[in-house]
């Protein structure tokens, strides 16, 4: 498990080296949720490649929305966890 990749070249490297074993997961939250969590956009940081380099060009295997609803999060994570367990 790699908890944080930042660039398209990172994802491409893992896919090249590990092939079909790689599962990409993107965790998203609405801007409103992010602000509730005290996030404030900082130009030069939040728009840098290290923060948004994967916003385009990656077809994620899983997209999980984490807006603070625990039941909704659990419902999204369960199929992902089942899939991963099936690969062990």
Q: What is the pLDDT of residues 13-54, one digit of tens each?
A: 999 999 999 999 999 999 999 999 999 999 999 888 888 889
Read off the CATH number of the domain in which 50 is found.
3.40.50.300
In a domain, 49, yes or no: yes
pTM of the entire predicted model: 0.85
| Structural domain for 41, as ranges | 8-86
Contact 83, 23 (CB under 8 A): yes
* Greater pLDDT, 53 or 60: 60
Buried b (16+ CB within 10 A) or exposed e, 43-79: eeeeeeeeeebbeeebeeeeeeebeeeeeeeeebeee
In a domain, 2, yes or no: no
Q: How many CB atoms lie within 10 A of CB 84?
A: 13
For the chain, the domain total comes to 1
Range scoring the smallest mean pLDDT among 55-59, 63-67, 81-85: 55-59
**What is residue 48's three-state secondary structure?**
coil
In a domain, 1, yes or no: no
In a domain, 63, yes or no: yes
């Amino acid at each position: 498990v790699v908890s944080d990749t930042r660039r398209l070249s990172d994802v491409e490297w893992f896919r090249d080296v590990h092939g079909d074993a790689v599962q990409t997961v993107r965790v998203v939250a609405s801007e409103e949720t992010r602000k509730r969590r005290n996030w404030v956009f900082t130009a030069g940081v939040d728009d840098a490649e290290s923060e948004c380099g994967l916003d385009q060009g990656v077809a994620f295997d899983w997209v999980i929305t984490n807006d603070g609803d625990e039941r909704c999060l659990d419902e999204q994570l369960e199929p992902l966890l089942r899939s991963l367990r099936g690969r062990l």
